[in-house]
């Protein structure tokens, strides 16, 4: 696998892990990233666990050189981010924050597609 692409995977995984910890520990400046209002503390912990699970699977593949397993990680990005992208664009209704979050989700979908 290309060294640059592995580096990008590593940066993304570390970012996911930091966001996961931030959501799980409910660090204010990280939880404010979540654009949906009225999200409960338990929901933020759940979001954090999703981030941590994604980071763990990616880091496992990177540390043990299982490059073929990264295809599953890429499919995961597509399967999760594509429907969320559609949903966030549907509910945006001119809300810039939700629209920007939809754009970030779209980039995540494209990242997964590029890795296949």
What's the domain range around 63? 3-115
Q: How far apart (Å, rounded) are the C-alpha atoms in residues 17 and 50?
A: 10
What's the pLDDT tens digit per position in 28-84? 999 999 999 999 999 999 999 999 999 999 999 999 998 899 999 999 999 999 999
Say how far apart CA 106 and CA 95 lie, in whole Å.
Answer: 17
Please give the structure tokens belonging to residue 111.
């990242």
State how many domains the chain has.
1
Please give the structure tokens belonging to residue 65. 């050189």
pTM: 0.88
Residues 77/112, Cβ–Cβ less than 8 Å: yes
What does the block give as tokens for 2?
A: 């290309």
């Amino acid at each position: 696998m290309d060294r640059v692409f592995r580096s990008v995977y590593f940066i993304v995984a570390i970012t996911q892990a930091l966001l996961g910890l931030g959501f799980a520990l409910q660090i204010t400046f990280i939880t404010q990233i979540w654009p949906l209002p009225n999200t409960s503390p338990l929901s933020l912990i759940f979001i954090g666990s999703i981030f941590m699970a994604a980071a763990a699977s990616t880091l496992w593949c990177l540390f043990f050189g299982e490059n073929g397993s990264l295809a599953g990680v890429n499919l995961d990005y597509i399967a999760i981010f594509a429907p969320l992208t559609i949903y966030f664009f549907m509910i945006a209704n001119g809300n810039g924050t939700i629209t920007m979050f939809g754009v970030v989700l779209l980039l995540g979908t494209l990242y997964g597609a590029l890795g296949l």
